[in-house]
A and B are shown apart, each in its own frame.
Chain A
């Protein structure tokens, strides 16, 4: 479903070119559970951003569901992101002035889905993360674990085929972290591809496929 061929991403820092990821060939199938691990600065976040179409590679070809997305326009890329990809961030990134329900509805609002449909879908996903009674609370009235669950709900509300999570438990205590991982894995059980970037070996060990990135290249690719 996802195919990277010779993908590189270079950054220009001052007059120095830094290769964040170099010549990565990678193939991921629908419904996989993949952990991307590696030391900090190894390029694992950059890889995730490229896969999530937030960042464009400087070289190589990226096929997403058989479609070459390397040279799509900003609008077309937004379209793909909107309908196919869900993001979960380490710092939640909820809009502070919107309620949990409105935050969850945001992707649907942007997509122009009518309010009635939005309300129904929001209450569905709120129930699935066990926060039905928290819909009208603002992010600052929620605990860290609850916030991340809201963020996951937001990532799933458009029924994406991939969920990309960048250190989803990095800002949570271990119990909330476990809850969040269980919810993410639950989504994976329903056939959604799950990509988790982490430097925590224990979390990485839960994935069926583990990629280790060092200096921008795949050092090992283990499958269970």
Chain B
């Protein structure tokens, strides 16, 4: 029997039992569609997070005051408080070779007012490098550009939302506003719809770091953002930062340096694991479809006992009978898988339309795995019925009508 004859025979018998074929296709299609859609969603979430992080720059180091790990020993009876991470510390970091930018950050809330209008806003005290590290756009005016971050220049850059609420339709640039108990002049307005890890830049006010620290009466910075010159020097730079701080802090390691990359990698791993998990759960549907195929094929063997007997009487070898039934199982599972794939891609497309921000799309590995598993289970679960068909005794098979 040639392959074409086998295929023709298979198609005929699939057409001959139409309801059975459609039900089987559906079972397999649902399984594959589930895998494709769920992995599309999981992988979309992973890529969404990755994109958010890489928007911040991947060669970024974050220096936090205090140690994130505990050491043994007696309780600190003599009040061993961590030393402050000061502005001077931050400025010292800029001298490390391989460090391109350093932005000290001080955070706090304050009331902001212009005339009778006032509201509470998040104040970010920082330096000119912050703009380049966070890749912020300025729609009007300029960013904070103080040559010496220690100076408390009375200037600020405001988000668009803040601008609208305080100034309405009037021009804001060059105007003075009250910030807590101080006054400062608006030198720039941020571009709209900028986000930094979910924090909207539309509703913040940026001031020189020294001003913020004075306003909130803080000696310590919230953190220091350090941008290394290249990704390969990240480790080296991280060590250099620790060395500089240790030298300045009387030999104590009392800061924590986090690589943006490490945070990203952690999120990436978590979401990847999650994607695998949902893919695994969806694969159960595929296994169920495989069992269904076996069930259907066993029924087919019983239904078509006389036909099998006839084929044997006409000289079909046992292997040919096995091949015919296997080919039926494989065709069923494969076409079901392809239908499911299309349904899954369509579902992913609909989801992508509903959430344009998230890059939803099934990864190639998931599609290939789903199709492979579908064909695999189809054939695997088709083997037993096919062998049973091949072993039928032709006399007994033919005596049935």
Contact = CB atoms under 8 A, between A and B. Distances in A.
Q: Does A pair with B?
A: yes
Contact of A97 (B13, B314, B318, B398): B13
B16 interface: yes
Contacts of A154: 314
Contact of A82 (B307, B315, B398): B315
Interface in A82-128: 82-83, 87, 89, 91, 93, 95-98, 102, 106-107, 109-112, 114
Given A54-B394, A55-B395, A109-B9, A95 B317 contact: no
B1 A110 contact: yes
Nearest to A50: B395
Interface in B288-342: 306-307, 309-320
A111 B315 contact: yes
Contacts of B15: 97
Contacts of A58: none
Nearest to A93: B310
B16 A96 contact: yes
Nearest to A52: B313
A79 interface: yes
A81 B314 contact: yes
Given A54-B394, A54-B398, A81 B313 contact: yes
Given A54-B394, A95-B307, A95-B310, A78 B315 contact: yes
A107 B314 contact: yes
B401 interface: yes
Given A79-B315, A110-B316, A110-B320, A91 B1 contact: no
A49 interface: yes
A109 B5 contact: yes
B308 to A, nearest CB: 11
Contacts of B183: none
A169 B312 CA distance: 23
Contacts of A16: none
A91 B310 CA distance: 11
B151 interface: no
B314 A106 contact: yes
A102 B9 CA distance: 10
A98 B12 contact: yes
A89 B2 CA distance: 27
Given A109-B5, A109-B9, A97 B16 contact: yes
Interface residues of A, number: 29
Contacts of B316: 78, 110
A69 to B, nearest CB: 14
A224 interface: no
A55 B309 CA distance: 12
B393 to A, nearest CB: 8
Nearest to B318: A74
B227 to A, nearest CB: 72
A52 B1 CA distance: 22
A17 interface: no
A93 B398 contact: yes
Contacts of B394: 54-55
16 contacts: A54-B313, A75-B318, A75-B319, A78-B316, A78-B317, A82-B314, A82-B315, A87-B313, A97-B12, A97-B15, A98-B12, A110-B311, A110-B314, A111-B1, A112-B5, A154-B314
9 closest A-B pairs (Cβ-Cβ)?
Answer: A82-B315, A97-B16, A107-B314, A78-B317, A93-B310, A81-B315, A54-B394, A87-B313, A109-B5
Interface of A: 49, 52, 54-55, 74-75, 78-79, 81-83, 87, 89, 91, 93, 95-98, 102, 106-107, 109-112, 114, 154, 158
Given A97-B13, A112-B2, A158-B315, 16 more contacts: A49-B395, A54-B398, A55-B395, A74-B318, A81-B312, A81-B313, A83-B315, A93-B306, A93-B310, A97-B12, A102-B12, A110-B1, A110-B311, A110-B315, A112-B5, A154-B314
